[in-house]
Structure 1
Amino acid sequence: MEVLSVASEAYPLVKTGGLADVVGALPAAVAPHGVRMTTLLPGYPAVRAVATGKPVHRWRNLLGVDAQLLKGEIAGHPLLILDAPDLFDRPGGLYGDATGQDWPDNWRRFAALSKAAADLATGAVKGLAFDLLHVHDWQAALAPAYIRFAVAATPSVVTVHNIAFQGRFGADVFPALDLPAEALSVDGVEYYGGVGFLKAGLQAASAITTVSPTYAREIRDPAFGMGLEGLIAARGAVVSGVVNGIDTEVWNPEADPALAASYGPRQLSRRARNKRALETEFSLDRDDGPLFCVVTRLTWQKGMDVLAAVIEDLVAMGGRLAVLGSGDAALEAAFHQASSRHPGRVGVRIGYDEGLSHRLQGGSDA
């Protein structure tokens, strides 16, 4: 079976969080089951750097921009790159500028990714054919809607990694999406008077998966469904949860070059060397009290507002905290302020560092 997997990030090329880990690990995980998975990514500079050969397809007007399709490899598996410099070659992060503000044209950037994915999945690109389209989160979720309104038969799967991020935009962007007028409806891409990318994908996909059976149940509840619980419940027959695993080669403490000291189940005493190294790296006091770590996007959906509110208690009880991540400017500031109030007890790195994330998880207590 030939599967096209589409996402906005994938390890080891570009990563802001766990989505990239899953997308990067999937091709190797499904290969033993007779599945050949090709990954389609936006042409960020780090992704374009691995391109090989000449373009295999060109779009003269992909939602208002010129684009081309390049080939490459990701961890030894096939990679397709949507090379559209006007959309993806810019300073800052994958989704926003250096100040943390979302790019105002994110709707166009990821609609273009979705449209290219739909073209690939429906055989519109000569020499490339796929049996199934697998899209991840809102950035690729419009692809099943493009397929549906093209009246194409290619089946599709949407995986929801975090339902809080939905890709909601004003109705004014709809005319530029290259969808028929009837798509702006409750059964299409319309969502509370605007356009909802994730909602459109959930409506149009052949199947919906989440990151665990528990999450698949939770998002049918108004407390967790973020407004989409009704749609999830209505499509319950095709909703399932598949537990996210880890790449045991990448996350193997016995052979992880990012760690200060490798260790296994019979050498747990060596793990202490990683804790000492973290204390130095984050300028934390050296003691035997608990060291907590956080590696995540700094958003309220991740509970970071709750953590920021209890830092005083954590420190008062003898704990220390090391934080790696970026996100909401107010939360970034809150953690920086906590670090200033509690030097030696709270350390913060704004941004993302893959090696440091390994050291945090290999050396912290929780």
Structure 2
Amino acid sequence: MKKELSSKEAAAILGVSLATLYAYVSRGLLVSIADGRARSKRYAHEDVLRLAARKADGKRAGHAVAAAMSWGVPVLESRISSVAGGKLIYRGRDSSALAAHATLEQVADLLWGGTGEESDGGAGKLPPVPQLPAAVAALARTMPPLERAMAFLPVLACLEPGPERCPGAAPPAQLMRMLASLLLDAEVTSAPLHEQVARAWGVQGAAQELLRAALVLMADHELNTSTFTVRCVASTAAALPAVLCAGLAALSGREHGGHYLIAKDVMEAEVVRPGNFTVEAMQPGFGHPLYPDGDPRAALLLEMMKPLPRAAGVLALAARASAIKGAEPNSDFALAALELVLQLPPHSGVVLFALARSAGWLAHAAEQMADGGVIRPRARYVGDFAA
């Protein structure tokens, strides 16, 4: 393969005129090489091929968006949630307004295409959550919550009455209850999930309302990493327990669910030495690219914390961050603050996140399966080109 191309050869590969080729050079999209023997410029063959690949990618991106991505650019249409105008919207309804009164079950029903009025999301009509065998349960208790849920959710799903249930045909509301049982390491009843979380952690009164609101506000957030992962797995027609496990796996990463732990470390250090931490925009816990004026989820939860006696330190840090553009507290900050202010057990923030987000994951899985099509984007090859 030729290592260098003339201007005419490069323009032919790119499908552009010489004037456009020179414009690419002036805009830094392509580098020209001076030819010492002539006044003309030369171009590295691989650079031209890479630019051609990028141009083809751009053309695909300009096409009408498909309802389900298949062999194309990673864009998906959804009817479930959106972030617009500084608000998080669930099927046309403001999540902050829902957080004032709704339960996670009601929001799940809304996200799944219902009215959102059902008091328990159908949980009261379901049989008790099956329990792991004693020896398995003892092993499970030695594991962190997310890992325990990933390991044993498919097991619980297969313990549902009737062989037709395996490998996981349990209704979505029952799968959420199974997940709650594993995350909390507790038996789950038909009571609203926020009450069961509060009971497991010994929380009462206003603090229980905080947990309810947090579960509602974290139920979905458009196509974040874990939700996109869930849709990829759901597009293969995998069983729902496997789909939820995929979401949990993505959430377990340091750059997703782990951000709240980084924010928690900052808060704990700040309580010991107030003002010692340098607040900067767009670090874990501070700032969000989708909310240039501040994350409404964090704003509501922090406002609800004000009456609590242990909240002064985190609220002072939140006020300091809010004064810096792009560093306003986000949902990771709020989850860390909840864990500290309510003196919850370790991992509580990510447990709340996972349980809440399972409602959204199941909604996206159902939408993906209904719309059809395997999610399979194309790769843009930018490596070496063979001769």
| TM interval, short-chain normalised | under 0.3
**Per residue, is there more helix in 1 or in 2?**
2
If asked which structure has higher relative contact order (CA below 8 Å, sep 6+), I would say: 2
Higher Cα Rg, which structure: 2
